[in-house]
Structure 1
Amino acid sequence: MVKISLPATLGQKPEKAEGEADKTEVLIPAADDVQVVPAGTRTPTLSCILCVTIALVILLSTVVLGIICTYKYYHLAQTRRDLFTCTILYDEYDISEHNRWRLQLEEDVEIRLDDDVELINVPVPEFEGGDAANIIHDFNQSLTAYHDLALDRCYIIELNRTIILPPHNLWELLAKMELGTYLPQTYIIREEMEVTEQIVNVHQLGSFIRHLCSGKKTYKLKRKSVQRIIDKRDVKNCHRIRHLANIFVVEASICEKE
């Protein structure tokens, strides 16, 4: 460090002692005293680069997944409707004869979510397997009505909620089938029912069933059993109606009293 002293300002009063003269000192750092701080030039490490890359990949994947989910939601909402046409392939077995048949079922389904009702139309099957029918599952009335088109008769029975999907669940199932994201299982559940008595007044059964069965002979049914069809069926005086109301095909086997 170099110290420079300047003499007192000219014109200073003479009575001041020389030692008391004002002095102005300026300190100038020597060249050896100057410290140079280098600018930050730290090179990113491989681990930092890897962490940033992983974070970007996760962020990009989240954005893409969000776009896909949003598209599917709005696409399904915009194309939402209550009418479906279904074609289902299913298998029927006969263990005693070691036979297996691949059958096809077609049906039109209308779902009334606000009314909690399912309206199903089964046309005449191309192959043996059931009669053409109109079917109503009324969850408000807790009733199922079958209109056998060949006999022009109505049959009423208590709704079996254990195997018949509610309207909202059935709507979701049919929507997934239509989009090709789900295919139903191919076995059959059979409900064996027996005709018990004739119903004279159908007006108390709700507006949907009344509209379906008004002016037709209408009978009450009693459920005898529910089972999966794997054996050869017994020969009885029965009429069979098959439809899809779950992930499997349901067969209503309507039999006269023995």
Structure 2
Amino acid sequence: MVKISFQQVSARKAEKENDGNKEEIHVPCTHDELVLPVWSKKSPMGGLWCIVPGLVIFMSGLIIASVCLYRYYYYNPQVPEDSLFHCRMMYDDPLYAPLLGRQEVEENVGIYLEDNYEHISVPVPDFASSDPADIIHDFHRGLTAYYDIALDKCYVIELNTTIVMPPRNLWELLVNVKRGTYLPQTYIVQEEMVVSGRIRNVRQLGPFIHRLCYGKDVYRLRRRSGQKRIEKRETRNCHTIRHFENTFVVETVICDRLHF
């Protein structure tokens, strides 16, 4: 009896060769540790550096806007002493001359050369026919505002440059009067005005008139046509402001309604 046995070497060799031609595939086992991707955390300082410049720019703009609004509407700059005047003027009024003789008008004048306007303050007069008032002549906007203190009302009209002297000319006149080198004439000129409507938006009148008339009833005026002087019997609904802004005294008559 012959015993036959098989060699395993060739089979194992072929197996190894076959194994060498195959790609190795590794399947993770359940007990292997899974490694997840780690996202990098951004520092909060990065966002802060973006917000801070924006806040700085916003606050700077807010501060600048506030300063401009305050300067434009509410700030009242100091006037040099040589631009402030306390004036008294004697004048003759033909209507009252036989009874009262020469009369006197008193006022305080502030002349703002840089801003091109005049502020005239008329105190309570000695005679009852005139009201105390504050007056603004704004040459930049071409407007005049009268604040009648007795009535607590503001009246606005186009600036009359034939009567009101420009700030530089009025300043030179008052400086000469103060020095005693020039005396203004003593006659009186009357201008007559009638209320023509209500003004709601005072800001449109500019910062100086806005500051004078803010919170008050404001009315627009028109000049009365004709040269006839308003007589005493016709002034029942009229109020008078006497002041000077030239070489003569001006009597401004403001009427709500005229009765002729």
Q: TM above 0.5, one fold?
A: yes
Q: Is the 8 A contact 1:155 1:219 kept in 2?
A: yes
Return the alpha-carbon distance in structure 2 between the equivalents of residues 226 and 242 of structure 1.
20
Q: Is the 8 A contact 1:94 1:232 kept in 2?
A: no
Return the alpha-carbon distance in structure 1 between the equivalents of residues 82 and 226 of structure 2.
32
CA RMSD in angstroms comes to 2.2
The runs of 5 or more residues in structure 2 that have no matched partner are: 1-79
Return the alpha-carbon distance in structure 2 between the equivalents of residues 176 and 80 of structure 1.
15
Q: How much identity, in percent, do the aligned residues show? A: 52
Q: Is the 8 A contact 1:190 1:227 kept in 2?
A: no
Return the alpha-carbon distance in structure 1 between the equivalents of residues 113 and 179 of structure 2.
20
One-letter identity of the residue aligned with 2:243: H
Return the alpha-carbon distance in structure 2 between the equivalents of residues 228 and 198 of structure 1.
26
Return the alpha-carbon distance in structure 1 between the equivalents of residues 140 and 240 of structure 2.
25
Return the alpha-carbon distance in structure 1 between the equivalents of residues 144 and 234 of structure 2.
25
Aligned counterpart, 2:82: 81
One-letter identity of the residue aligned with 2:234: V
Q: Is the 8 A contact 2:83 2:171 kept in 1?
A: yes
By how many angstroms is 1:158 displaced? Answer: 0.3
Return the alpha-carbon distance in structure 2 between the equivalents of residues 106 and 228 of structure 1.
27
Q: Is the 8 A contact 1:130 1:242 kept in 2?
A: yes
By how many angstroms is 1:233 displaced? Answer: 4.3
Structure in which a larger fraction of residues adopt helix? 2
Structure in which a larger fraction of residues adopt strand? 1
Aligned counterpart, 1:183: 183
Q: Matched residue pairs, number?
A: 178
Matches within 5 A, 1:1-258: 81-94=82-95, 101-225=101-225, 233-236=232-235, 237-258=237-258
The runs of 5 or more residues in structure 1 that have no matched partner are: 1-78
Return the alpha-carbon distance in structure 2 between the equivalents of residues 142 and 177 of structure 1.
26
Return the alpha-carbon distance in structure 1 between the equivalents of residues 173 and 94 of structure 2.
25
By how many angstroms is 1:129 displaced? Answer: 3.7
Return the alpha-carbon distance in structure 2 between the equivalents of residues 171 and 227 of structure 1.
30
User: After TM superposition, where is structure 1 displaced by more than 3 Å over at least 4 residues in a row?
Assistant: 97-100, 225-229, 231-234
Return the alpha-carbon distance in structure 2 between the equivalents of residues 172 and 139 of structure 1.
17
